[in-house]
Amino acid sequence: MSNIYSEGQVLLINKPYDWTSFDVVRKIRNLLKIKKIGHAGTLDPLATGLLILCTGKFTKKINEYMAQEKEYTGTIILGATTSTYDLESIPENFKDCSHITENDVAEAAKTFTGNIMQVPPIYSAIKKDGKRAYEFARKGQDIELEPRKITITDFSTALNYPEVHFKIVCSTGTYIRSIANDLGVKLGCGGYLSALCRTRIGNFHLKDAWTMEEAEIKINESLHQNG
């Protein structure tokens, strides 16, 4: 049965913590009972925030939305590292960095703004020799990923030791986990991402997104009205 969703809609979802982006797509697909649905830009399971879903003919716009500027807020923990650059793995290599000041962090953050080359994390879905990078990483195999050009237009920070609270505005393809790790390297004490929320994609804002509970209610209501 045709409905507004099978024709084509853009849905803004606030992805829950510990859900994969595909978990969200699968849940919404089951609610809508349609096959043609996809998302515009993956969020890691431990990240929350704005996920754009496109249905029907709007799936043609996915690449257009993915290419738009992103905005994130989150927290970096200083004084340790993790192999995945976030809390998917256990913190190690602990160092005392209580001497680091708010100005130190702000000055280090400035070095990451503008057009920069970023090496993606090895625990990522980027392909190397036909395999996903994380497949090598999980086997303990060292691989080198090529740096990629990204743009960071804003990287503002506030230090509440050992936490660095931040806002980053960046181009598509930017790995915030890598920024967390690289900031720790720059400060000489290590760092990893402990929280991340995507607050904007282009002109789409998190404040306009549905929670999964709201999505279920709204979708069921609209399907009933159009049924």
Positions annotated as catalytic residues are 44
Map tokens 């720790």 to a residue: 184
**Peptide bond before 162: cis, by omega within 30 degrees of 0?**
yes
Task: Name the DSSP letter for residue 96.
Answer: -
Beta strands 70-78 and 114-118 are: unpaired
SS3 95: coil
The amino acid that residue 39 corresponds to is H
Chain center to CA of 15 = 10
The angle formed by the CA atoms of residues 156, 162 and 163, to the nearest 5 degrees, is: 40
Q: Under a CB-based contact definition with an 8 Å cutoff, are residues 77 and 89 in contact?
A: no
In terms of C-beta density within 10 A (0-12 exposed, 13-18 middle, 19 or more buried), how is residue 27 classed? middle
Tokens of 6: 């099978």
Reduced to 3 DSSP states, what percent helix, strand and coil does the chain have, rounded to the nearest 5?
30, 30, 35
